[in-house]
Structure 1
Amino acid sequence: MSLSVDLNADLGEGVGDDAAMLEVVTSANIACGFHAGTPSELLATCRAAADAGTRVGAQVSYPDKAGFGRRFMEIAPDDLAADVLYQIGALDAMARAAGTALAYVKPHGALYNALVHHEAQADAVINAVAQYDSQLSVMGLPGSEVLRRARRAGLSVITEAFADRAYTADGTLVPRSQPGAVLTDSAQIADRVVTLVRTGTLAAVDATTIGVDAQSVCLHGDTPGAVEHARAVAAALREAGIEVVAPRHQAG
């Protein structure tokens, strides 16, 4: 059986080279204005994704433009659900106006990391997605609370790994505040993505091998050298005979 993987990137944030990233990725996680992005930027990004034939997802966040959504916030579940519902609706409107459709929801930054273990916030996010459109998929870290709750709610899920982020031995991401949390060597990043797709494993920071079941791999668009990293990953996958395609719908 041939191997395949989806490549996704965080776009519409007003940083990085979105046009170049859209030449590589098959899924675009587009900001919804809470951590980054103006309405005009979001609409333009949706149009560019539609022109590229790239699948569109809503990247929902804490209301934290000052911190780029990378600071944890203790928010009441009802308020968080309303925030997420608002963001999905806004990006869905932009996608429709651009002639495309919203396919999935991916939390951003600190919210993404919180939803690995924070049960109340995970419930809030899943309630918002289910209330808006039960056909939307939820993208997240394998084994996370948010994906467990998505499956229970009957939503489809997309498991994700990160090309340029270091992992702890328990399969979570090394906090950005720690040295070595973000990888910077394009060849190293490309090699680990090929290994991930072929074997379902990655090397953690303590040199142990961990299992990572990922249908999609994130290529951050806002890190230095992001475009070079993305192109190196795509080229390495092609050379390894691995197809880059958006994931098929997977029921919860």
Structure 2
Amino acid sequence: MTSRLDLNADLGEHDGPPPPPARALLHIVTSVNIACGAHAGDAESMRLVVAEAAALGVQIGAHPSFPDRAGFGRRIVPMTMAAISDTVAQQVSELGVIASRQGAAMRHVKPHGALYNLASRDRAVADTVVAGIIRTDASLALYAPHGSALAAAGAEGPLRVVYEGFLDRAYEDDGTLTPRDVPGAVLHDPELACRRATTWAGSGLVRTRTGRLLALPLETLCVHGDTPDAVAIATRVREALAAAGVSLVAALQP
């Protein structure tokens, strides 16, 4: 049984003030990945989520994506490698400036949606994403799946890589996330999420969509802020992990 885990959420995926579910999640999670305007959010949402996260002691991270507001960053946008590096650097830099102006620190980066998935399997894209992060701040950590191209690129960057798993998404047998257009790809049951979290924390194993148990080391668990049952899932998982003796601590907290 691991003794500690980080619990993270993707937030700021709205314009202006955070809606009630997002604010509720900020009181549950230990780190937050804040949308940087390319797939969702704006300067005001970034400022407000940073302020609330900082006040609550929640670790702050950037959540850059392909420039795809119409598709919520879930579509691959054809771009040159230079353009991908530029957009990652610009988005991460913008959130970093907003955090700095409020006396807060940005500590990590987690790519969003299609960019996360593509970089996880395509080493050239992964190297480009990492280069964009390093151009901004080489001290930032990178949230990435264990065994992925993104994790390998980050480690060789070198960045501190934090291995991530998902509470509300189904997995394929190769360790990739089940595509969202496949029935059952998004999980909604808080009790199922609890069982997954405690099994994962205890054994390092996660059950795939086909029923196979897959070894997938992790240091942080994610719940998507736009999952309808996100607050219930995060609440029950936090309770279950605490009952199992797992401390919920931000990934980069000593």
Structure 1 position 123 matched with structure 2 position 127: yes
Per the alignment, residue 165 of structure 1 pairs with 169
The 1-side partners of 2:7 and 2:208 are apart by: 21
Per the alignment, residue 72 of structure 2 pairs with 68
Aligned ranges 1:128-167 → 2 under 5 Å: 128-167=132-171
Structure 1 position 106 matched with structure 2 position 106: no
Per the alignment, residue 6 of structure 2 pairs with 6
Per the alignment, residue 41 of structure 2 pairs with 37
Of 149-158 and 24-33, deviating more is 149-158
Gap change, CA 1:127 and 1:249, over 3 Å in 2: farther
Partner AA of 2:74 in structure 1 = R
Per the alignment, residue 26 of structure 1 pairs with 30
Cα-to-partner distance string for 1:66-119 (whole Å, 9 max, x where unaligned): 000001122100000000000011000111122210101100001110011112
CA contact (8 A) 2:155 2:161 kept: yes
2:89 to 74, 85, 89: 85
The 2-side partners of 1:170 and 1:248 are apart by: 28
Q: Helix, strand or coil: the match of 1:99?
A: coil
Structure 1 residues not aligned, in runs of 5+: none
CA contact (8 A) 1:156 1:249 kept: no
Per the alignment, residue 56 of structure 1 pairs with 60
Gap change, CA 1:2 and 1:114, over 3 Å in 2: closer
Partner AA of 1:106 in structure 2 = K
Partner AA of 1:11 in structure 2 = L
The 2-side partners of 1:228 and 1:200 are apart by: 23
Partner AA of 2:27 in structure 1 = E
Structure 1 position 228 matched with structure 2 position 232: yes
Cα-to-partner distance string for 1:9-39 (whole Å, 9 max, x where unaligned): 0011126622100111000000000000011
Q: Helix, strand or coil: the match of 2:224?
A: coil
The 2-side partners of 1:243 and 1:98 are apart by: 28
Gap change, CA 1:53 and 1:218, over 3 Å in 2: same
CA contact (8 A) 2:2 2:201 kept: no
Cα-to-partner distance string for 1:202-227 (whole Å, 9 max, x where unaligned): 11111111011110000111111111
Gap change, CA 1:179 and 1:16, over 3 Å in 2: farther
Per the alignment, residue 197 of structure 1 pairs with 201
The 2-side partners of 1:191 and 1:88 are apart by: 34
The 1-side partners of 2:94 and 2:20 are apart by: 22
TM-score by length of 2: 0.95
TM-score by length of 1: 0.96
**How much is the aligned-residue C-alpha RMSD, in angstroms?**
1.4
CA contact (8 A) 2:11 2:33 kept: yes
Per the alignment, residue 210 of structure 1 pairs with 214
Gap change, CA 1:2 and 1:143, over 3 Å in 2: closer
Deviation for aligned residue 1:56: 0.4
Gap change, CA 1:229 and 1:249, over 3 Å in 2: closer
The 2-side partners of 1:210 and 1:104 are apart by: 26
Q: Helix, strand or coil: the match of 1:71?
A: coil
The 1-side partners of 2:13 and 2:244 are apart by: 32
Deviation for aligned residue 1:248: 3.7
